[in-house]
Structure formats: structure tokens, C-alpha cells
Amino acid sequence: MRNKKLISLLAIALLAGASYALGWSTLFTVSSVEIKGTTAYLPMTVQVGEKLARVEPRAVASTYEKIDFIQDAKVSRNWITGKVTIAITPRRPIAMYNDQAIDALGKAFVAPGKSETSLPKIQAIDVAAALVAANFFNSLPDAIKSALVVLKVRSTGAYVLEVNVEGRIIEIGWGQSTDNDLKAKVYKALLAQPENALVKRIDLSAPHAPIVK
């Protein structure tokens, strides 16, 4: 009986000691913090000297994920070295609307650093229309996406594309976002015809009867 009591007391003492070491003693404190995945300035939410046990990875990650250009954050603690690593996954812009970038998930955000001048520009009446346009853009074939300079959204919801084809700008009246696969095939076939070598405008709003100018 006495042995059982002794074992219980030892277990309680060990538990208390472990709790103290984790939460209060100078052991198991944050020795360094590393942020990976971005060179943009980010606020430091974990401080050197803080108790590792009090660093809650999910809570720290959630704080960073509230920043609009961050898609995902993962936080890990090294109990041996005391290092905390914060791995950031930034959103990757596919187009620009005014001063905002738009990613493939249809999220608008302010990209840190210099503006992405190489990305296609979306012209729309508001950010909601621009987000819809970004989804449309993302559905286009790579050959068109890579050549796109400007994507215009009319008040009717019709699209006009300006694409760079070997240094010359071609305006494509795409119309509504319907029959997109057919329109892409018609566009490719029209460009392949020698008589369209200097074409400036292509109307694909009625893909079975395209107009070339």
C-alpha cells in the first residue's frame, strides 16, 4: 500500500516538474524564430525567450493567414534547439485589377513589393466582376493565357481580350463565357491561316460565324 502511495507521489512530482519545466522554467524557451517562404515584412508574433509550451502553432498560423497575401502558414517547434519555424505560402497572382492582385482561387489581395507588371490586366466595373473574370481567365488554354495583355469585362458580362501575338496586339471579342473550348479552337485555326497574318480584330462571340478584320 505504501509503495502505491509512493509511486503516486512520485508521478505527481514528475508531472509537476514537467509542467514547471515546460511553462515556467528557463528550459524549453524560444531560442530563435525563422520565417520562410517570403521576403516581405511580417510582424513577429513569437518572441525569443518565450516559453515553447505557450507557442500554439495553430493560433500563430491563423494570425498570419489573416494577412491577405498569405494563402497558408505552418508553424513548427523544435523542442531540442528551441527554434520556431514559420513556413509561409504566399498567394500567387495570375492577374491584376487596379492595384490588387488576383490568384487562381479568385482571391483579391495587395501583393507586397513591386507590382506585377508582367501579369495581364483586368478591366472591370468592380472587384466582384474582376474576380469572375479571373476565373474565366484561369479556364482559358495556356496559349491564350500566356499571350493575354488585357482582359476587359463589359457591363453585359461579355469579354474582350487583347493578346500579344508575335509583337502585335490582336483584339478578340470573346462574348459571353460560353462555348469556350470551341472559341479557342476557332481562334487557333484562324491564326493559322496565312490571309490572317495581319489581322487586328477577331469576333468570336458567335464561334460558328467568326468575323475577322
Domain co-membership, 57 together with 156: no
Domain co-membership, 59 together with 145: no
Number of domains in the chain: 2
Inter-residue contact 128 to 159 (CB < 8 Å)? no
Domain co-membership, 61 together with 118: no
Domain co-membership, 204 together with 108: yes
Residue type, 99: D
Residue type, 111: A
pLDDT at 141: 94
pLDDT at 13: 41
Domain co-membership, 136 together with 172: yes
Domain co-membership, 46 together with 130: no
Helix and strand numbers (H, E) in the chain are 5, 12
Domain co-membership, 154 together with 202: yes
Farthest-apart Cα atoms in the chain, separation: 102
What pLDDT tens digit does each residue of the chain (213 aa) get? 555 554 554 445 444 444 444 445 456 899 999 999 999 999 999 999 999 999 999 999 999 999 999 999 999 999 999 999 999 999 999 999 998 999 989 899 998 877 677 899 999 999 999 999 999 999 999 999 999 999 999 999 999 999 999 999 999 999 999 999 999 999 999 999 999 999 999 999 999 999 999
pLDDT at 9: 44
Residue 161 belongs to some domain of the structure: yes
Domain co-membership, 128 together with 55: no
Residue span of the structural domain in which 52 resides: 28-90
pLDDT at 26: 55
Q: What is the DSSP pairing of strand 148-153 with strand 121-123?
A: parallel
Domain co-membership, 197 together with 130: yes
DSSP bridge partners of 75 = 86
pLDDT at 157: 93
What are the cell numbers at 46? 513569437
pLDDT at 97: 95
DSSP bridge partners of 29 = 51
Residue 188 belongs to some domain of the structure: yes
CATH code at position 36: 3.10.20
Residue 179 belongs to some domain of the structure: yes
pLDDT at 18: 46
